[in-house]
Structure formats: structure tokens, C-alpha cells
Amino acid sequence: MAKDGPYLQSGQVIIVYVDSVVIRSAKPYLATPEATVHGHYGKILYEGDTLVTFIYEKSRSGDITQGLPKVEQVLEVSSIDSISINLEKRVKGWKEYITRIPWGFLVGAQLTIVQSRISLVNKIQKVY
């Protein structure tokens, strides 16, 4: 809708006017269906806050704790100072590129990631 090209940020359309749009900026993260998302709509997050907790089972033959769920907290909010300029350039380039990819390819890529994750977990569980 921009006169100078597409809007390259993730977000949610809040209000549509005749000559403009109000968009709430957002940053998407992929998580498994079993993951616990902490917080709620409108909550302010601070450095060190946990965004998502993934739960998975790790089997070991002969171990008394076999099959008990292990909890790993990931995706903590980090300081803005810790982001490298190189990473910011890569993300900017990726955002410009991703707007030109047909939606079907993105859905296919997400399915591939999910299938790869399941395959990896199955292979790791075979080892233990």
C-alpha cells in the first residue's frame, strides 16, 4: 500500500482508512504445538523474560528418569546492544526478499521444517 513499494515489516492490520493503514508491528516465532507461550496480549517484555518453553521427552534405556519430560526455556528477550550490525543487514535483506516469494512456498517450507524437526527427534530418541 506504500507509494514507494511494499511494507517489509511483519504485523497486524488494525485500521484501514481510505488513504492509509494502521499496522501493529510484530515479530513471528515458530514453535511446536506442545510449547508453552508465556505472557498475554499487550504484556511488556523485558530483557531476560522467557517467551516460549519447549517440552520434549528424552529416553534413555536403564535410566530411572526414562521418559520424563525435559523442559528447556528458549527465546529469551535479549539486549538490543547484543544484536550485530551484520545480522541486522541480513534480516533486512531477508525481509525484502521474502515479500517476493509466493505464499505456497512459505507454507511448504514450514511443513518441511516441521517434518525435519519430527525426524530429528525420532533419530535422537533411537540413539538413547
State the amino acid at position 91 in one-letter form. Answer: V
Per-residue model confidence as pLDDT tens for the chain (128 residues): 556 666 666 677 788 888 887 877 766 677 777 888 887 777 777 778 888 887 766 555 555 555 555 555 554 555 555 555 666 777 777 777 766 766 666 677 777 888 888 888 888 777 76
What torsion do the CA atoms of 83, 40, 53, 105 make, to the nearest 10 degrees? -70
What pTM did the predictor assign?
A: 0.30
